[in-house]
Every structure is written in structure tokens, then in C-alpha cells.
Structure 1
Amino acid sequence: MKRLLISTAMGLMLTTSAFADAHSGAMMTYQSEQTGDLYASNLIGMRIYSAEADYDALTADIVMQDDAEQNWDDIGEINDVILSRDGQVKAVILGVGGFIGIGEKDVAVDMSSIKIVNENDDPGDFFLVVKTNKEALTDAPAYERQDDVAMANDTVTSADRPMLAPPAVERDGYEVATPDQLTTEDLTGARLYGAKDEDIGEIDQLIVDDNGKLQQAVLDIGGFLGIGEHRIAVAMDELKILRPAEGGDVRVYIDATKENLESQPEYEG
């Protein structure tokens, strides 16, 4: 677990009465780390878990054993913290999705909905836990920054290029997988093959709509070591995803050749 400097009782900023008084007088200083303080710089990127069944029973004095998170759902990580101008924490931005089949999206939640659960007897080791589920995260509105450019403006839609039917391929030892059965890590970087198993590229990134639904995949076609690649966006419905029955890396198929795909409009997102 990571160490953070934010008092658990105070939230993510120094919001004691002495600190608040500083706004009306001379600058006050916070001279040394206190018991229970957490470093905000390390909060960013920390994993966060959904413990829907256990959440209500989790209290500040409970000490969890190693690997307790294996009984919870890893829903994503903390991407950012939103502060008001008076130093109060307004919300925490969570990057959620992937494993739950909704695609990656940012969701802003109140800090009070996140519990800090101790791991072992070291106060510096802990879990961040919320109470939620797949349906709630699917329905939760995606957080939008004012300077965000609508993702739809960056994508090449199906109207910009001919749609392809997914290839009718079957391979011994493999089974068909749908995007909602996979994580973003399973798909990002996965090799892309033509219907005759020719290696034609890889999945570079995934595109979601305003509701966090997985819509398209950006493909890197050809090239070598990132040089000379041609990037195109295709609908997920154009792809067939196979994964080994015993587990392992997925194989993604498209009913086209490298030459066909290199002639299609390039993605510029």
C-alpha cells in the first residue's frame, strides 16, 4: 500500500481551524507529519476496491489481513482530486471500468464515500474501499473537465469508412470472448490478425462514448517498432476476439488484409 499525507479526519487538505484562520491573517505553517496524516501525492494512482458486501461492517479500527482485496472487485484507481478555492475537497475522480465491461471512464465521487481500511498493524498500509457495483458504475455519469474535447469529435465513425463483418474464424483451444468479459489490459496491445492468421498489427487504444460504453478500437496497422504504422478506428462489432480456454493472451481477428486497412482513413485522435 502507498503512504499519503492527508489527515484521515480532516480529508485531503489541511482544514483545521488554525489553517482556516490563515485565510484572514498571516500565513500559517504545518511543521511536521502527524499520526494519521497521508501524502496526497501518493493518493493519485492508488487502486480502489468495491466491497459491496463488506462495506457497512468496515470501520476505522478494523485491521484486514494481507490479500484481503482478493475478495473485493478492483474497480480502478484514483486519477485526481477536486478542490474548492477555500481548500476543501469537493470530490475524488476515479478511473473506473475495464474489468466490469463498461470501458474506461472517470467518475467523480464524494470523499466521504471512500473508506480507508487498515492492512495489518501498520497505519501506513491500507486499502481504499467504496460501496458500489457494476450497474451503479455503468449508470454513473462520466466526469467531464471543461477543457475536454468531446471524444466523438476525435473518432472516425462508421460513416467515414465501410463497416466490416466480423470474420467467421474458429481455432482449436480457443473460445469466443466478448468485450464485457475482458479487461482493458486484455485488449490494449493485443495482436490483430486477418482471417488467415496473418499478423497485421495490434490494438493501440480503446474508445468509449460519453456514457463510458466501449465503442471502438484504434488499430495500429503494419510498421515496425512504432515507425510507419497506420492507425484506424473500427467498431468493436467488426472484430472477433478469441481467448485460450485455459487462459492467456487474446487474439483479435478482422476480416481484412493489412493492405485493405492501410487504405482506410487514418484515425487522428
Structure 2
Amino acid sequence: MTIALKTLCAAAALSLTLVSGAAFAQATPVVGTIGITSEEVLVVAKGWSIKKDILDKDVFNEANEKVGTISDIIVTPVKAMSYAIVGTGGFLGIAEHDVVIPLSQLTIKDKRVLLPGATKEAVKAMPAFKYSN
């Protein structure tokens, strides 16, 4: 079964809003409600873990060629968009080129992260991503 990674962060991303720089809080909290219901816990338990299933995983194209490795997931406060930081090229982190891929463009199939239509050359040709201070 192929599922867009966009759904992995959708629930969490939609409930996040930027507060005082780097701190996050739940948007429009319901008074007296903390956490989720036991029914929601069952739904969450069926999801994928960013830490276990996505971070540090290799990214492949449909020809089974490795095009990079996911080093980070970023959820922006604007429109709660989620992006994967994918490193390509280099060896052991030296001369690696990080790029940004919207999670909606990635899929997981048979426990592998796929970026359909990608080639190593196309990913390396993308603008480099640098973290802001």
C-alpha cells in the first residue's frame, strides 16, 4: 500500500502554531481538554513514526536508485506545511548537498521512501537548503 507522507504530519502540523520564536502550542485549544481521546489514540497507533520510519531513511526513485537520505522533517508555522530535508551526494556527510522536498511528493511503499520521477542528478541540481540561525 502506498500512502503519501503528507498524511504523516497532517494532524500534528495543522494543530501547531508558532509562539514566541521556537516554542509551539496547540492552536485554538478546547477549554478543559488536554491530549486526545482513547479512540484517537487507536488512530495514532496505526500511523507511522517520523523517527522510526522516515528519519535517516534512504530515498529511492521508482527504478530503485538511491537519490538521497532524509536528514530532517520541518513543519513550518505558515500554513503548517511539512518538508523533508534530503541530503544527496557526498560521503559520510562531507560535501553533502541538502535539498527541500515537500512531504506530499514522497510516498512509502514496502517500507521504502520513494520520490517518483527523481534522479540523483535532478536532486543534486536543486537549490541547496541551509538552516537559518
What is the TM-score when the length of structure 1 is the normalising length? 0.33
SS at match of 2:17: coil
Q: Which moved more, 1:212-221 or 1:201-210?
A: 212-221
1:101–1:212 CA distance, 2 compared to 1 (3 A):
farther
Cα distance in 2 between the residues matched to 1:141 and 1:232? 24
1:200 aligned residue: 67
The alpha carbon displacement at 1:235 in A equals 1.0
Residues matched between the structures, number: 100
Cα distance in 1 between the residues matched to 2:14 and 2:105? 26
Cα distance in 1 between the residues matched to 2:61 and 2:16? 37
CA offsets 1:118-163 (integer angstroms, 9 cap, x no match): xxxxxxxxxxxxxxxxx7x6665535234x4xxxxxxxxxxxxxxx
Corresponding position: 1:257 with 2:119: yes
2:89 aligned residue: 222
SS at match of 2:62: coil
1:232 to 65, 86, 99: 99
Contact 1:202 1:220 in 2 (8 A): yes
- Code of the aligned partner of 1:252: V
Contact 1:141 1:211 in 2 (8 A): no
Which of the pair has the greater relative contact order for Cα pairs under 8 Å at 6+ separation?
2
Matches within 5 A, 1:8-27: none
Q: Which consecutive unaligned segments of at least 5 residues does structure 1 have?
A: 1-99, 104-134, 149-179, 244-249
Cα distance in 2 between the residues matched to 1:211 and 1:182? 24
1:182 aligned residue: 48
SS at match of 2:129: coil
- Code of the aligned partner of 2:74: I
Cα distance in 2 between the residues matched to 1:195 and 1:257? 10
2:36 aligned residue: none
Contact 1:102 1:213 in 2 (8 A): no
Q: CA-atom RMSD, angstroms?
A: 2.8
Contact 2:82 2:102 in 1 (8 A): yes
- Which of the pair is proportionally richer in helix? 2
Q: Which consecutive unaligned segments of at least 5 residues does structure 2 have?
A: 1-6, 23-45
Larger of the two Rg values belongs to structure:
1
- Code of the aligned partner of 1:253: L
